[in-house]
Amino acid sequence: MSETYTLYNSIVMDHFMHPRNMGDLKDADGVGEVGAAACGDIMKISLKIKDGKIEDARFKTFGCGSAIASSSMATELIKGRSIDEAMNFTNQEVVDALGGLPPVKIHCSVLAEEALKAALEDYIRKHPETASKLQTPMPAAA
């Protein structure tokens, strides 16, 4: 391999080669699995939530390099956030933290946002008592 000629920038490549938080959480409080109809990628995010805070996050991804990097980065970013903060998470945060993605690959970061939201919704569905405390209204199911 060459250091200089890679398809993605060095942050993306690093997250692709050494993904953070890869795997499943044994006793996940919320799990979201979403797919992108356009490209066929599938992403799954599991969350451990305690006292309204995301304590831990894991991902599994079937998809291209930038999809893997996006889910790795998304789980990194989300850890420690409150549910409310997490509900306001957008794909742009992933793109920025990765130092940019090729235009044709922006949808990978969108998928990461969607997987996270799906996991949060799953948590809220299972814990209806939390819903009333949310400042952000729950988004319509994808």
Partner 1 sequence: MRHVYLDHQAATPLLPEAFEAMKPFFTEWFGNPSSLHEHGLRVREALKHSREQMAALIHAGSPDEIFFTSDGTESANLAIKGVAYANERRGKHLVVCATEHPSVINSVEFLEKQGWTCTRVGVDAEGHLRLQELRDAITPQTVLVAVHHVNHDIGTIQPVAEVGRICSEKGVPLYVDCEASAGWLPIDVDAWGAALVSFSPHRFYGPKGVGVLYRNKKARLVSIIHGGVQEGGRRAGTENVPAIVGAGVAAEVARRDLEARIAHTRELQVRLWDGLEKHVGFIKLNGPRPGPDRISTNLNISTEFIEGEGQLLLCDLNGIAVASGSSCVSKSLKISHVLAAIGLDHALAQGNIIMTLGRDTSVEDVDYVVQTFARIVEKLRGMSPMWDEFQRGIIDSVIRPTGRGKSFSQHAADVSGKSAH
Under DSSP, the state recorded for 34 is: E
| Residue 5 binds partner 1, judged by CB under 8 A | yes
Region 78-97 residues binding partner 1, contact defined as CB under 8 A = none
Helices in 1-142 by DSSP H: which ranges? 10-17, 65-78, 83-87, 91-97, 106-126, 128-131
Look up residue 22 and give its two tokens: 């890869």
- Residue 108 catalytic? yes
CA distance 126 to 49: 12
Q: Which of 10, 55, 62, 135 binds partner 1 (CB under 8 A)?
A: 62
Q: Which of 14, 21, 24, 93 binds partner 1 (CB under 8 A)?
A: 24
Residues engaged in binding partner 1 (CB under 8 A): 1-2, 4-7, 16-17, 19, 22, 24, 33-37, 39-44, 60-65, 67-68, 104, 142
Catalytic annotation, residues: 39, 108
